[in-house]
Structure 1
Amino acid sequence: MAAAREQRRVFGEVAEAYDEAREGYPAEILELILDYAGRAPRSVVESGAGTGKGTALLRGLGVPLTCVEPDPAMAALLARHVDGDALVSVVVSRFEDWVPPSGGVDLLASAQAWHWVERDRRTRLAATALTPGGVLAIFGHDYDFADAGLRAQMDAVYLEYAPEIADQPGQPVHARHPGAFRPEELRGSPWFTDVQERQVETVVRYDTARYLTLLSTFSPHRMLPERQRSRLHRALADLVDGRGGVVEQKLTTGLWLARRLS
């Protein structure tokens, strides 16, 4: 019998598609991190680096950056991207198993991946990885639609073809995604203080083919049986094509910042 697929490990199945279709992060995110920290960090670790969407942003700091990524396929693609860069190292490991350097690092960042770290351990692990006064920066995109009418039509397609992953009106995100990060984890922590939240909004245009590629990188879609996923994607493609072949995605990039107590 084949082993059950683990949801947080499905991204390596589509590493190239993930790298092509997922959006990077606006420069404002890095500016907000630096403004909060008050100075440039001397060392950075990134949890769940994936193929390097957050890495590209963090590399702008110009300091040693350790990228921790559990999926070998994702890590291999990231390693190709940073090949020859003496400041960036790639470690194939779960963040839970990674051993931080003595004394910790100044900045721990995680882009679209912190919810995959074990919920009951992640805040303590973050504190262990950081120097006293060090900064935790968690950021990621919330994908929505610039056109509310398209969103309603999309919701109808999901309810018909894949109701198990459809958004339910009024249902909080943590009910649909039990591991989802909530800032209360940090606000109630004995290890962190000065928890702040920031947002940056952008709009990105996807043609039909690239939009389907994007959907193929989302873990709820990857966990669907292949036949069901194909039917869902065909129906979504028909909808997009019927509206001009373009989806305008409204990205709200959330950033949560916290400082380790000294």
Structure 2
Amino acid sequence: MAEQPRLDMARSQVFGEVAELYDAARPGYADALAEEVLAYAELGDRTAVEIGAGTGKATLPFAALGTPLLCIEPDVRMAEVLRRNTAGFPRVRVQTGRFEDWQPDGRRFGLVYAATSWHWVAPERRWDLVHDALAPGGAVALFWNPHGTRDPRLLAALAEVDRRHGLRQTPHSASASDYGQTPGDWADVLEWPEEQCRRDGRFTDLRAVRYRQERYYDTERYLGLLASVSAYRVLPPERLERTLADTAEVLDAHGGGIAMDQLTDLFLARVR
């Protein structure tokens, strides 16, 4: 699988503009995911490192299971919300900065994980950085939560709005029926990490898991979700307003919301 072009770094810096909206609108991950990852990692009392923790959508399920966590978040505004959300978990520490600039300082960790953030890490360095942070046998867990629209008529109507406003790869641009049983079968823009990990050669016991659940967003909540997505955040304000208004018009004409399949696709590997 060919390496995909790295996403524009400017897009990785826009989430902090709407940190509170991001926290309120973004969905979490499959309920069973944290337990699956921890069972694989056999972490014990060792600390886990989270790359690009955001406001804590994936942090809280691990923290609730008692996991010692070091959360690395590049945006100070997102980190502020993250600290507030994890205030009740004394084993969670938050460090502001880019994963590429973070120094383990000789420490070796039992788990490094990234929740919808791996694609923001420099592709030419990320496997080296993860390997250098992990103890022998330590685990890496990478996961995303793509969506698929269930109603074909709504999908077509939203596709016309996206085309008119020059948007591609929006949360609703795939059909729920497009997804099969194979984790990563959506990865035509963001490379699924398995092949690159195999080529690296320093990791073993590669596994992939898919979870699926149904979600329904009413118009207001779905617009909030879209407004937290980088493809929308980089639009000029007037264009963003028009795009969301046109999307709302379509959603309201189709029952006032959108029914979706949310997948959680998980990739696991461990240091040899």
TM-score exceeds 0.5: yes
For residues 5-41 of structure 1, the C-alpha deviation after alignment (integer angstroms, 9 at most, x for no partner) is 8111000011001000111122211232133235646
Contiguous gaps of at least 5 residues in structure 2: 1-7, 179-184
User: What secondary structure, in the 3-state scheme, does the structure 2 residue paired with 1:53 have?
Assistant: coil
Matched, 1:250 2:261: yes
Q: What are the residue-to-residue correspondences of 1:111-122 with 2, within 5 Å?
A: 111-122=115-126
* Alignment counterpart, residue 221 of structure 1, candidates 214, 219, 232: 232
Q: Is the 8 A contact 1:69 1:93 kept in 2?
A: yes
Query: 1:212/1:168 Cα in 2 relative to 1: closer, same or farther (>3 Å)?
Result: closer
Q: Matches of residues 44-63 of structure 1 in structure 2 within 5 Å? A: 44-63=48-67
Q: Among residues 82, 92, 108, which one is paired with 2:96 in the alignment? A: 92
Report what 2:200 is aligned to. 189
Matched, 1:16 2:20: yes
What letter corresponds to residue 185 of structure 1 in structure 2? Q
Question: Do the aligned residues in 2 keep the contact of 1:124 with 1:191 (CA within 8 Å)?
Answer: no
Q: Is the 8 Å Cα contact of residues 14 and 230 (structure 2) preserved in structure 1?
A: yes
Query: What is the aligned partner in structure 2 of residue 109 from structure 1?
Result: 113
Q: What is the Cα deviation at residue 189 of structure 1?
A: 1.0
Decide whether the 8 Å contact of 2:72 with 2:96 is kept in 1: yes
Conserved 8 A contact 1:146-1:203: no
TM-score of the pair, normalised by structure 2: 0.86
Partner of 1:76: 80
Q: Distance in 1 between matches of 2:267 and 2:140?
A: 8
Counting matched residue pairs gives 255
Moved more, 120-129 or 242-251: 242-251
Distance 2:20 2:106 in 1: 35
Quick check: 1:41–1:107 contact (8 Å CA) kept in 2? Answer: no
Q: Could you tell me how far 1:103 is from its partner in structure 2?
A: 3.9
Match of 2:150 among 136, 146, 153: 146
Identity percentage over the alignment? Answer: 37
Partners of 2:75 and 2:149 lie apart in 1 by: 30
Q: Secondary structure of 1:221's match?
A: helix
Matching residue of 1:132: 136
Alpha-carbon distance in structure 2 between the residues aligned to 1:63 and 1:35: 12
Residue 75 (structure 1) shift: 0.3
User: Under a length normalisation based on structure 1, what TM-score does the superposition of the two structures give?
Assistant: 0.89
**Secondary structure of 2:17 counterpart:** helix
The whole-number CA distance in structure 2 between the counterparts of 1:219 and 1:234 is 18
- Structure 1 gaps, min length 5: none
Q: Distance in 2 between matches of 1:160 and 1:87?
A: 48
Q: Does structure 2 retain, via aligned residues, the 8 Å contact 1:162–1:228?
A: no
